[in-house]
Amino acid sequence: MRLSDIAGPDVAEIVREDPAALGEGLRAFHPADISELLAGLRREDRVRVLEHLDDETLGDTLTYADGETLKLALLRLSPRRIAAALDTLEPDDVASALSVVPEEKRSPILDAMSKRDAAAARGLLRFDPGTAGRLMTDKFVAVTPQHTVTAALTELRHIDPRVATVANLYVLGENQRLAGVVSLRTLLPAHGDATIGSLMIDEVVSVTPETPQEEVARLVSKYSFSALPVVDDAGRILGIVTVDDVIDVLVSQETENMLRMGGVAAEDSETRGTFDYFGSSIVRIVRSRIGWLLLLFLAGTLTGSVLRHFEGQLSQVVALSIFIPLIIGTGGNAGSQSVSTIIRALALGQVRLRDAGRVLLRESLAGLLLGLTLCVFAVVRTVLWGNTPQLALVVGLTILCVCAWANIVGALVPLLAERFNIDPTVSSAPMITTLVDATGLAIYMLIARAVLGL
């Protein structure tokens, strides 16, 4: 039976009537499914279920839980209970669970944990959120270059069950320095007497604990690695980041980029982690948006300044103002298309800075073609609304110019951001819209002045 086959309301009833039986029954399910089930329950019911899970199931469930459930567990269950559950986990999962609550709530839990595990977690919590140091685990398979294949395979049969992956064996030289890496796939078919030193790859791609998690994700995705070692300045191995953590980074990065493109701060200034929708207060939600919204509003007043400059024209031909929203809307849409295309091409490495010239040429050409098509529709619509052919010409020409202009700006801004090492997704889209709004209006009014002779 799959857990999702049990309907939510039924579960809620069982929770209240016999939570102990439910806790017992859940042990058979995958922790990812348990955490999904929890997310569908009310907060009080969630706490009741969490209380009745055994330590190991509770620990596993916490590694898959969303921020709201995690916070609930850490704040409402006793520190001793949470500590016992966290003691069953790898240090990176402990650190990532603890990072959702403020410093002062962490200490009682860490104090109740086993000394070794608490020390490992404290070590990771020293690193900033969003770095390789926070993602790494110190449970990996280490061998020496002198090991034979047979000896290495025999040792593998006595590994710590919490080891993160057996796909790669890390070869340590003197002073714990990372000398090489050998994949289990290479090791398995090799001759038993061969030494690890003769099989290992000694040019290892590695990162430092301070490396941003986005760079870790980029490397793992570029080289199709299953894990990436983290070394200190002396080249000593501190831990490894595994591919499943990278997937979490990629998923949260995708949605964070979506936030940025929408003009919302992706990082919670308080926890420095990502936002949890219902886990954040309205005030924090408003705070994450007001900055950009206000900035864009102030930038947007520029459109008013442009129009004030042409107030005389507007009062002479009131019909001009009727097309204002359509013109700036079209410019904004064309700009958004261009900016998202270029950001994507940059992210996938299809476009580099040195291609800037080619990109701008292509985008202005594309803009002209798009503008030409819309121009036809614009002229027809203007005439159908009973306006003069002159006004139709003004609207049509403006749409054509604004499309080409918006495409150029939309391509230029991400390229400039890349040039100056700014993340191009940081509100590129709304910024460009605002920029194109004001300049588009100026184009409109200048064309109107020229054609209508105002």
Q: Among residues 360, 362, 423, 446, which is the contact residue for a copy of itself, using CB under 8 A?
A: 362
Q: Which of residues 197-256 bind a copy of itself (CB under 8 A)?
A: 220-224, 226, 243-244, 246-248, 250-256
Residues 268-297 that bind a copy of itself (CB under 8 A): 276-279, 282, 285-286, 289-290, 292-294, 296-297
Residues in CB range of 276: below 8 A, 6 or more apart: 66, 67, 68, 71
Is 286:319 a contact under the CB 8 Å cutoff?
A: no
Handedness of CA 415, 419, 420, 424 (dihedral sign): positive
Window 301-320: residues binding a copy of itself (CB under 8 A): 301, 303-304, 307-308, 311, 314-315, 318-319
Cβ closest to a copy of itself, residue 83 vs residue 397: 397
- Number of residues in contact with a copy of itself, rule: CB under 8 A? 124
CB of 107 to a copy of itself, least distance (A): 28
- The footprint of a copy of itself on residues 140-199 (CB under 8 A) is 153, 156-159, 161, 163, 165-167, 184-185, 188-189
Choose, by CB under 8 A, the member of 15, 121, 366, 415 that binds a copy of itself.
366
Taking each helix axis from N to C terminus, what angle separates 91-98 and 79-86, rounded to the nearest 10 degrees? Answer: 150
Q: Which amino acid is at 441?
A: L
Near a copy of itself by CB under 8 A: residue from 13, 43, 128, 262:
262
* Subset of residues 425 to 444 that bind a copy of itself, contact rule: CB under 8 A: 425, 429-430, 433-434, 437-438, 441
Q: With binding defined as CB under 8 A, does residue 258 bind a copy of itself?
A: yes
Name which of residues 102 to 141 contact a copy of itself (CB under 8 A): none
Nearer to a copy of itself, 110 or 412 (CB): 412
Q: How far is the CB of 216 from a copy of itself (least distance, A)?
A: 12
Task: Return the number of the residue (109 or 227) whose C-beta is nearest a copy of itself.
Answer: 227
**12 lies in the site for a copy of itself, by CB under 8 A:** no
Angstrom distance (rounded) from CA 39 to CA 11: 12
Q: Given the rule CB under 8 A, which of 66-74, 118-126, 415-423, 445-453 is the region that contacts a copy of itself?
A: 66-74
Smallest gap, in angstroms, from Cβ of residue 314 to a copy of itself?
A: 5
- The strand pairing partners of 181, in sequence order, are 170, 201
Interacting stretch for a copy of itself, rule CB under 8 A, among 10-18, 28-36, 44-52, 172-180? Answer: 28-36
Residues 6+ apart with CB under 8 A from 352: 346
- DSSP bridge partners of 143: 171
66 alpha carbon, distance to own chain's centre: 15
**Of the candidate residues 7, 20, 75, 365, the single one contacting a copy of itself (CB under 8 A):** 365
Considering only residues 383 to 422 of the shown chain, the ones binding a copy of itself according to CB under 8 A are: 385
Q: Does 70 bind a copy of itself (CB under 8 A)?
A: no
Contact between 353 and a copy of itself per CB under 8 A: no
* Calpha distance 33→99 (Å, rounded): 23
To which residue do tokens 């400059």 refer?
309
Q: How far is the CB of 355 from a copy of itself (least distance, A)?
A: 7
DSSP 19-67: HHHHHHHHTTS-HHHHHHHHHTS-HHHHHHHHHTS-HHHHHHHHHH--H
Q: Residue 145 gets which letter from DSSP?
A: T
In degrees and rounded to multiples of 5, residue 207 shows phi and psi of -130, 170
CB of 276 to a copy of itself, least distance (A): 6
Q: How far is the CB of 262 from a copy of itself (least distance, A)?
A: 3
The distance from CA 118 to its chain's CA centroid, rounded to whole angstroms, is 28
Task: Give SS3 for 207.
Answer: strand
Closer of 122 and 362 to a copy of itself (Cβ): 362
Smallest gap from residue 48 Cβ to a copy of itself (A): 19
Whose Cβ is closer to a copy of itself: residue 234's or residue 348's? 348
Partners of residue 178 on adjacent β-strands: 172
Among 176, 195, 340, 390, binds a copy of itself (CB under 8 A): 340
Full DSSP string of 151-182:
HHHHHHTT--TT-S-SSEEEEE-GGGBEEEEE
Question: Between 272 and 309, whose beta carbon lies closer to a copy of itself?
Answer: 309
* Coil/strand/helix, residue 108: helix
Compute the distance between CA of residue 134 and CA of residue 142 in angstroms, rounded to an integer: 21
175 vs 421 by CB, closer to a copy of itself: 421
How is the beta sheet containing 168-172 ordered, strand by strand? 142-143, 168-172, 178-183
d(CA 73, CA 68): 9
- Residue 42 as a binder of a copy of itself (CB under 8 A): the answer is no
Sequence-ordered list of residues with C-beta below 8 angstroms from that of 255, at least 6 positions apart, any chain: none
